[in-house]
Amino acid sequence: EAQVTQNPRYLITVTGKKLTVTCSQNMNHEYMSWYRQDPGLGLRQIYYSMNVEVTDKGDVPEGYKVSRKEKRNFPLILESPSPNQTSLYFCASSPLRAGIQYFGAGTRLSVL
Amino acid sequence: QKEVEQDPGPLSVPEGAIVSLNCTYSNSAFQYFMWYRQYSRKGPELLMYTYSSGNKEDGRFTAQVDKSSKYISLFIRDSQPSDSATYLCAMTGSNYQLIWGAGTKLIIKP
């Protein structure tokens, strides 16, 4: 089954404790992206990658890191999480047909 | 002013009604227009995709784009309780970066 898989689905952590949210897609898509979704603010892009070893900042990259060492994986790293990073995070991939993106089920993160 | 404006709702209608969801935008370079549907606790999924102006129909759903007015719409006929979700509009030019509306929460009452 074609899908984007994120893990974990739920995560509660404390300020400053490094964490990684994994994202994997099995559709051989070049493009991958991370979003956060907050009430009233909609989806905001954190980082995106057009291909292996190519990453670019989105609208809200501060406090986040990404890497793209393999085509299928695009982990999101929070090196020192803060409470304002409490949010719902989505990973997405695209075959680079404009506008068509496939989303994971989401990771709900709480930073205490 | 946001590049894409979308009324967050909630919009509550009775089952069987025709639903109209709308977005306005400011960037005339946008060429691709999408509607995504997001159920509670799930990721968004692509519902409709339109290139440039015009209408596109898929079952009970019709997407309409008016580039002269910078206005897009999604119509849902014979609405069902299973259509209750948040509907997000999104659009892009040629760089594949999507600009999103805030989403409209739709509630269909049985």
Could you say which of B96, B100, B102 has the minimum Cβ distance to residue A96?
B96
pLDDT at position A99 is: 75
Tell me if A64 sits within 8 A of A49, measured CB to CB: no
For B4-37, the pLDDT digits (tens) are 999 988 999 999 999 999 999 999 999 999 999 9
The minimum CA-CA distance between B49 and chain A, rounded to whole Å, is: 8
Q: Do A40 and B34 touch (CB under 8 A)?
A: no
Q: What is the 3-state secondary structure (H, E, C) of chain B?
A: CCCEECCCCCEEEECCCCEEEEEEECCCCCCEEEEEEECCCCCCEEEEEEECCEEEEECCEEEEEECCCCEEEEEECCCCHHHCEEEEEEEECCCCCCEECCCEEEEEEC
Could you say which of B33, B43, B92 has the minimum Cβ distance to residue A90?
B43
For A36-71, the pLDDT digits (tens) are 999 888 899 999 999 999 999 999 999 999 999 999
What percent of chain A stands above pLDDT 70? 98
For A18-34, the pLDDT digits (tens) are 999 999 999 999 999 99
Confidence of residue B2 (pLDDT cuts 50, 70, 90): confident
For B48-94, the pLDDT digits (tens) are 999 888 899 999 999 999 999 999 999 999 999 999 999 999 998 87
Q: Do B49 and A100 touch (CB under 8 A)?
A: yes
Could you say which of B8, B98, B101 has the minimum Cβ distance to residue A40?
B8
More confident residue, B105 or B94: B105
Q: Do A99 and B41 touch (CB under 8 A)?
A: no
Give B91's contacts in chain A (Cβ within 8 Å).
99
For A76-103, the pLDDT digits (tens) are 999 999 999 999 999 999 987 667 899 9
The minimum CA-CA distance between B13 and chain A, rounded to whole Å, is: 22
Q: What is the largest CA-CA distance in chain B?
A: 42
Q: Do A98 and B43 touch (CB under 8 A)?
A: no
